[in-house]
Chain A
Amino acid sequence: MSEQFEPKIVAFVCNWCTYAGADLAGTSRTKYATNVSIIRFPCTGRIDFMLLMKAFENGADGIIVSGCHPNDCHYTSGNFHARRRWIVFRSLLDFMGFDTDRITFSWVSAAEGAKWAGLVDETTQRIREKGAFTDFKKLDCSTFEKISHDAITE
């Protein structure tokens, strides 16, 4: 039997809600998959889309981005700005043909330890099914012949 694929998932979370929610999952001893590691930001507003790109480039198979629910931002509006940013970023990735299902966007409050655990398990399972993220790796090994864009206008 071949071993089950264990994806590497990076979570970008805000300090006040999701990080605290993940701590709560801990104090409540809720068990979840080991695949996700957290990087703590002060606010979702601080999360630069470039960091997500860098994570994929450095071998992440999936990403979770999570912060306070709308209206709950510790800084009142960081998450609202983040939400607009993710709407645009996600549609850009989609337009470029990137598999946006590898990114889970979520709001997890400081009280939602169980939601956090569930989110980790659900994301891990989804990425496991998708398999390792190789789109980026493939890019640099294969030599593409650039087709002129007439090719698509046919």
Chain B
Amino acid sequence: MARIGVFICHCGENISATVDVAKVAEKAGKLSGVAYSVDYKYMCSDPGQTLIIDAIKEHKLTGIVVASCSPRMHEGTFRKAAEKAGINPYFCEMANIREQVSWVHPKSDATTQKALDIVRTMVEKVKKNTALTPIKVPITKTALVIGGGIAGIQAALDIANAGHSVIMVEKKPSIGGHMSQLSETFPTLDCSQCILTPRMVEVAQHPNITLYTYAEVEKVTGFVGNFEVTIRMKAKSVDHSKCTGCGTCWQKCPSKKIPDEFNEGMGFRTAIYSPFPQAVPNKPVIDRDHCNYFQKGKCGVCQKICPAGAIDYEVQDEFLDVKVGAIITATGFDLKHADFFPEYGYGQFKDVIDGMMFERLASASGPTAGEIRRPSDGKIPEKIVFVACAGSRDKAKGIEYCSKICCMYTAKHAMLYKHKKHDGDAYVFYMDIRAAGKDYDEFVRRAIEEDDVHYIRGRVSRIYEKNGKLIVKGVDTLMNGDPVEIEADMVVLATAVIANQDAETVAQRMHISYNKHHFFAEAHPKLRPVETNTAGIMLAGACQGAKDIPETVSQASASASKAIGLFSSNEMTREPIVAVVNRQAPPNFTSCTGCMLCMEVCPYHAIEREEMKDRTGNLIKVAVKVNAGLCQGCGTCVAMCRNKSIDLQGFSNDQMLSEVMALLNS
């Protein structure tokens, strides 16, 4: 038999001024199953809580209803009190008679009646409550960082420096990401490699970091604190434990005409290669698609000459299973490329290039050793036109968002050009100048005022070639929309920042959400900008949306701090408000029919297939189960299940129906 205690709070005068609390206490005392009821000035005060604790002990109460403020305010307080008195804290419910009664209604019988109705409802609910135990989840204190751009590097170093292990997985043969390709960086114009390379080396040498390059995440299962990850280690064909990085192989490799990705196709590399001189690790891999041995079956030069005997043509992709507690996704971005701008002749005219190509031309380690020369004939251009917003903020092109970094790097490019060619002319076509960062506007102003870059507000409509010049046609909207025509030697398009091609696949593997442009979605755009809606998976850098380096690094550190916070204890306690699928004796096992229709509704992919087998291992039934580590307790699955096989602890069918009945039947 239930023995419920009802505690009516006056909240000073906040409740008692409009609700006849004594009457509510008196009537509540007569409800079936109520063994004790009382009203008191401040239930949440120390004496109030003592009163509750004593009453539970003295009257051997099995559950309590505290009628006072909103449960959003004090549910935790009273549950703790119940626990102190020796009953399960989930046998405590609150009736909200302040925010939803006394504060919104005048003093009247109807108000008192409503308070009583709510008390009765909660009394009936608490009778149906069951003892619940908070869910304890152990935590594996290792973080997985996916992507070795500046975002991944920063996050990995932060976590590793806090004393936890980190596994970093990078798709390419070297870490560094886009930042390693940049020449100099706004707003300070410091050399990108100079600030990045030490960090890359630190990652490689850090005792807490295990680095897997030329690797990808194949599969993620499990939940916060307990992810199981399969990593695919693509066959490098070079045994890095033997290789010394001497470089003999790539000097001798006969397959030399492969467009060099690191230099954006402006130069060549060999089939066995390390992408750039400062690569980490600076050891080669064989690009099997271009290797003579793999394509034609003969060659084997590298194997013959390798002094360390590190070349191995036979190795296959390997799979590695690791356990991690948190995942930081830092897979970065991509840029819109050729054929997206037929009207600008990109991909057609060699001297219409994109921003990243310009970075390589301006970089001391680039194909021109830092001299800005046209790709077509190697001449130094006299006049360059820069086009901002190439593709961005253009609904017609399907990219309505702002790429955020282009205004700044275009100003930087124009400046770098002017610094190298003082008598050259730089024009920038722009829509608006968005330079809202620390020292950013000053930077753009410097380009305009000190370096004499000509800014023209307007769109470029067409670019075509005439007599070896690129004719750029556009309008100047600040001059009444007058047409402008510039004869340029080179055009640089600040093409839109887009998500990686494989972003959707990556998101699906990790069960995280993404927007329609395939940028990964944060759990809350304002208040949880670095977490995803899957607990334990965080975002860092441009994979979440276009970002510059300072912003990328801040977000990376923020997500690292989330991981470090998670790792600060050995286990995690979660509210037991989770769904459960009923269980029955064999041969039924459960009333669940395994229709799996609920799987789809769960926003957290918490519902899993379960196979029921008899003693000899024969499959008897397929049903589902809920992974309590993933379930967040929304209950959407419960309302979806036709035959009520799945229920939500704390808001069960029995409890909710009792509430409805109690509210309406006085």
Contacts and interface: CB of A to CB of B under 8 A. Distances in A.
Contacts of A75: 603-604, 632, 634, 636
Contacts of A20: 72
Interface in B624-650: 632-636, 638-640, 648
Nearest to B108: A34
A54 interface: yes
A55 interface: yes
Contacts of A85: 639
Contact of B635 (A8, A43, A49, A117): A43
A7 B284 CA distance: 79
A45 B635 contact: yes
Contacts of B533: 76
Interface residues of A, number: 43
A40 B659 CA distance: 10
A46 interface: yes
A39 B639 contact: no
A46 to B, nearest CB: 3
Contact of B103 (A27, A40, A46, A74): A27
B100 interface: yes
B579 to A, nearest CB: 10
B100 A76 contact: no
Contacts of A77: 601, 603, 636
Contacts, number: 123
Interface in A60-74: 60, 74
Contact of B651 (A38, A42, A60): A42
A30 interface: yes
A37 B98 contact: no
A90 to B, nearest CB: 15
Contact of B513 (A58, A74, A76, A78): A76
A47 B639 contact: yes
A22 interface: yes
A81 interface: yes
B479 interface: no
Contacts of A49: 639
Contact of A55 (B71, B634, B651, B660): B660
A41 interface: yes
Contacts of B292: none
Contacts of A10: 660, 663-664
Contact of B99 (A26, A46, A51, A59): A26
Nearest to B112: A34
B651 A41 contact: yes
Given A22-B100, A46-B648, A34 B636 contact: no
B638 A48 contact: yes
Contact of A37 (B108, B117, B639, B653): B117
Given A6-B110, A76-B533, A78-B603, A39 B663 contact: yes
B627 to A, nearest CB: 15
A39 B665 contact: no
A32 B100 CA distance: 10
B121 A39 contact: yes
B111 A34 contact: yes
A42 B635 contact: yes
Contacts of B283: none
A81 B635 CA distance: 11
A41 B635 contact: yes
Contact of A46 (B105, B513, B634, B664): B634
Contact of A48 (B96, B103, B656): B656
Contacts of B72: 15, 19-20, 23
A66 B177 CA distance: 47
Contacts of B513: 76
A31 interface: yes
A45 B634 contact: yes
Given A37-B114, A48-B638, A58-B665, A29 B103 contact: yes
Interface of B: 70-72, 96, 98-101, 103-106, 108, 110-111, 113-114, 117-118, 121, 513, 533, 577, 601, 603-604, 632-636, 638-640, 648, 651, 653, 656-657, 659-661, 663-665
Interface of A: 6, 8, 10, 15, 19-20, 22-23, 25-27, 29-32, 34, 37-43, 45-49, 51, 54-55, 58-60, 74-78, 81-82, 85, 117
Name the 5 nearest CB pairs between A and B, nearest first: A46-B635, A26-B99, A45-B636, A75-B634, A26-B103
Given A25-B104, A27-B99, A48-B656, 13 more contacts: A8-B664, A10-B660, A15-B72, A43-B634, A45-B601, A46-B636, A46-B651, A49-B639, A51-B656, A55-B660, A60-B664, A75-B603, A78-B636
